[in-house]
Amino acid sequence: MNLKYQRILKNRSYITLIKSVESKERNRFFCRHGMEHLIAVARIAYIISLEEQNGISKDLIYAASLLHDIGRAEEYETGRSHNEAGAEKAEAILLECGYSDDEIKEITAAIRTHGHDGYPEKASALERLLCTADKLSRTCFNCPAHEECNWTADKKNETLFY
Protein backbone atom coordinates (compact mmCIF):
# COMPACT_ATOMS: atom_id res chain seq x y z
CA MET A 1 0.00 0.00 0.00
CA ASN A 2 1.64 3.22 -1.18
CA LEU A 3 -0.57 6.03 0.05
CA LYS A 4 0.79 9.55 -0.27
CA TYR A 5 0.08 10.38 3.36
CA GLN A 6 2.90 7.99 4.26
CA ARG A 7 5.25 10.44 2.51
CA ILE A 8 4.03 13.22 4.79
CA LEU A 9 5.19 11.26 7.84
CA LYS A 10 8.72 11.11 6.39
CA ASN A 11 8.84 14.69 5.07
CA ARG A 12 11.63 16.68 6.75
CA SER A 13 9.64 19.91 6.96
CA TYR A 14 6.71 18.05 8.50
CA ILE A 15 8.90 16.32 11.06
CA THR A 16 10.52 19.63 12.02
CA LEU A 17 7.15 21.36 12.42
CA ILE A 18 5.69 18.56 14.56
CA LYS A 19 8.78 18.47 16.77
CA SER A 20 8.49 22.24 17.21
CA VAL A 21 4.83 22.00 18.24
CA GLU A 22 5.59 19.16 20.66
CA SER A 23 8.52 21.08 22.13
CA LYS A 24 6.47 24.24 22.67
CA GLU A 25 3.68 22.23 24.30
CA ARG A 26 5.93 20.05 26.44
CA ASN A 27 4.71 21.67 29.68
CA ARG A 28 1.22 22.53 28.45
CA PHE A 29 -1.49 21.53 30.94
CA PHE A 30 -4.31 21.63 28.40
CA CYS A 31 -4.85 19.63 25.19
CA ARG A 32 -1.76 19.06 23.11
CA HIS A 33 -1.43 18.97 19.35
CA GLY A 34 1.41 16.54 18.69
CA MET A 35 1.55 13.32 16.73
CA GLU A 36 -0.74 11.39 19.09
CA HIS A 37 -3.52 13.94 18.54
CA LEU A 38 -2.99 14.08 14.77
CA ILE A 39 -3.21 10.30 14.44
CA ALA A 40 -6.31 10.18 16.67
CA VAL A 41 -8.01 12.77 14.46
CA ALA A 42 -7.08 10.81 11.32
CA ARG A 43 -8.46 7.55 12.68
CA ILE A 44 -11.69 9.10 13.93
CA ALA A 45 -12.20 10.95 10.65
CA TYR A 46 -11.66 7.75 8.70
CA ILE A 47 -14.13 5.81 10.86
CA ILE A 48 -16.75 8.52 10.41
CA SER A 49 -16.10 8.56 6.66
CA LEU A 50 -16.63 4.81 6.45
CA GLU A 51 -19.81 5.03 8.53
CA GLU A 52 -21.18 7.85 6.39
CA GLN A 53 -19.97 6.24 3.16
CA ASN A 54 -19.09 9.74 1.98
CA GLY A 55 -16.49 8.64 -0.56
CA ILE A 56 -13.63 10.76 0.76
CA SER A 57 -10.38 8.93 0.15
CA LYS A 58 -8.32 7.65 3.05
CA ASP A 59 -5.36 9.54 1.61
CA LEU A 60 -7.15 12.92 1.75
CA ILE A 61 -8.48 12.23 5.25
CA TYR A 62 -5.09 11.26 6.64
CA ALA A 63 -3.27 14.09 4.88
CA ALA A 64 -5.65 16.74 6.24
CA SER A 65 -5.60 15.21 9.71
CA LEU A 66 -1.83 14.83 9.94
CA LEU A 67 -1.29 18.41 8.78
CA HIS A 68 -4.14 20.28 10.47
CA ASP A 69 -2.18 21.59 13.49
CA ILE A 70 1.28 22.16 11.97
CA GLY A 71 0.80 25.92 12.31
CA ARG A 72 0.59 25.76 16.11
CA ALA A 73 4.25 26.62 16.73
CA GLU A 74 3.92 29.76 14.61
CA GLU A 75 0.75 30.69 16.48
CA TYR A 76 2.61 30.41 19.79
CA GLU A 77 5.51 32.50 18.45
CA THR A 78 3.64 35.24 16.56
CA GLY A 79 -0.05 35.01 17.45
CA ARG A 80 -0.97 34.28 13.84
CA SER A 81 -3.85 31.84 13.41
CA HIS A 82 -2.58 28.27 13.33
CA ASN A 83 -5.19 27.51 10.66
CA GLU A 84 -3.75 30.04 8.20
CA ALA A 85 -0.12 29.31 9.07
CA GLY A 86 -0.74 25.59 8.87
CA ALA A 87 -2.52 25.76 5.52
CA GLU A 88 0.41 27.66 4.02
CA LYS A 89 2.96 25.21 5.39
CA ALA A 90 0.83 22.24 4.35
CA GLU A 91 0.71 23.43 0.74
CA ALA A 92 4.48 23.07 0.33
CA ILE A 93 4.56 19.69 2.09
CA LEU A 94 1.68 18.34 0.02
CA LEU A 95 3.37 19.45 -3.18
CA GLU A 96 6.60 17.70 -2.14
CA CYS A 97 4.59 14.56 -1.36
CA GLY A 98 2.97 14.34 -4.78
CA TYR A 99 -0.53 15.69 -4.20
CA SER A 100 -2.35 17.28 -7.13
CA ASP A 101 -3.37 20.95 -7.18
CA ASP A 102 -7.01 19.98 -6.59
CA GLU A 103 -6.10 17.76 -3.64
CA ILE A 104 -3.94 20.52 -2.16
CA LYS A 105 -6.79 23.04 -2.44
CA GLU A 106 -9.22 20.65 -0.77
CA ILE A 107 -6.86 19.73 2.07
CA THR A 108 -5.70 23.29 2.77
CA ALA A 109 -9.31 24.52 2.78
CA ALA A 110 -10.10 21.95 5.48
CA ILE A 111 -7.05 23.04 7.49
CA ARG A 112 -8.08 26.72 7.22
CA THR A 113 -11.58 26.07 8.57
CA HIS A 114 -11.03 23.36 11.19
CA GLY A 115 -10.25 25.45 14.25
CA HIS A 116 -13.34 27.61 14.33
CA ASP A 117 -16.49 26.96 16.35
CA GLY A 118 -18.10 24.58 13.94
CA TYR A 119 -17.56 24.88 10.23
CA PRO A 120 -18.86 27.21 7.52
CA GLU A 121 -22.37 26.63 6.21
CA LYS A 122 -21.04 25.75 2.76
CA ALA A 123 -18.22 23.56 4.06
CA SER A 124 -17.02 20.66 1.97
CA ALA A 125 -17.37 17.10 3.23
CA LEU A 126 -13.65 17.05 4.14
CA GLU A 127 -13.94 20.36 6.02
CA ARG A 128 -16.88 19.04 8.06
CA LEU A 129 -15.13 15.73 8.67
CA LEU A 130 -11.87 17.29 9.91
CA CYS A 131 -13.64 19.75 12.19
CA THR A 132 -15.83 17.02 13.68
CA ALA A 133 -13.00 14.51 14.18
CA ASP A 134 -10.76 17.17 15.73
CA LYS A 135 -13.35 17.92 18.39
CA LEU A 136 -14.29 14.27 18.97
CA SER A 137 -10.63 13.35 19.50
CA ARG A 138 -10.62 15.08 22.87
CA THR A 139 -11.21 12.90 25.93
CA CYS A 140 -12.49 15.68 28.17
CA PHE A 141 -14.15 13.17 30.50
CA ASN A 142 -10.70 11.87 31.45
CA CYS A 143 -8.68 15.08 31.26
CA PRO A 144 -6.70 16.35 34.26
CA ALA A 145 -7.39 19.92 33.07
CA HIS A 146 -11.17 19.37 32.89
CA GLU A 147 -12.07 21.93 35.55
CA GLU A 148 -9.59 24.56 34.37
CA CYS A 149 -10.38 24.16 30.67
CA ASN A 150 -11.92 27.17 28.94
CA TRP A 151 -14.18 25.01 26.77
CA THR A 152 -17.81 25.48 27.78
CA ALA A 153 -19.62 22.47 29.22
CA ASP A 154 -21.57 21.94 25.99
CA LYS A 155 -18.32 21.70 23.98
CA LYS A 156 -16.61 19.17 26.25
CA ASN A 157 -16.76 15.50 25.33
CA GLU A 158 -18.13 13.85 28.43
CA THR A 159 -18.17 10.40 26.87
CA LEU A 160 -16.20 8.39 24.33
CA PHE A 161 -17.67 8.48 20.83
CA TYR A 162 -14.85 6.85 18.80
Per-residue pLDDT of the chain (162 residues; tens, 9 = 90+): 678 999 999 999 999 999 999 998 888 767 788 899 999 999 999 999 999 999 999 999 999 999 999 998 888 899 898 989 999 999 999 999 999 999 999 999 999 998 666 676 788 999 999 999 999 988 878 878 888 878 888 888 888 888
pLDDT in tens, 126-154: 999 999 999 998 887 887 888 887 888 88
How many other CB atoms are found less than 10 A from the CB of residue 156?
Answer: 15
Q: Which long-range contacts (CB under 8 A, 24 or more apart) does 29-32 make?
A: 29/144, 29/145, 29/148, 30/145, 30/148, 30/149, 31/138, 31/143, 31/145
Amino acid letter for position 52: E
Sequence-distant (≥ 6) Cβ neighbours of residue 125 within 8 angstroms:
54, 55, 56
Burial of 56 (0-12, 13-18, 19+ CB in 10 A): buried
Distance in Å from the first CA to the final CA of the chain: 25
11 within 8 A of 90, measured Cβ to Cβ: no
- Whole-structure pTM value: 0.90
For the chain, domains (ranges, CATH) are 5-23+30-142 (1.10.3210.10)
CA 92/CA 105 separation, integer angstroms: 12
Sequence-distant (≥ 6) Cβ neighbours of residue 121 within 8 angstroms:
none
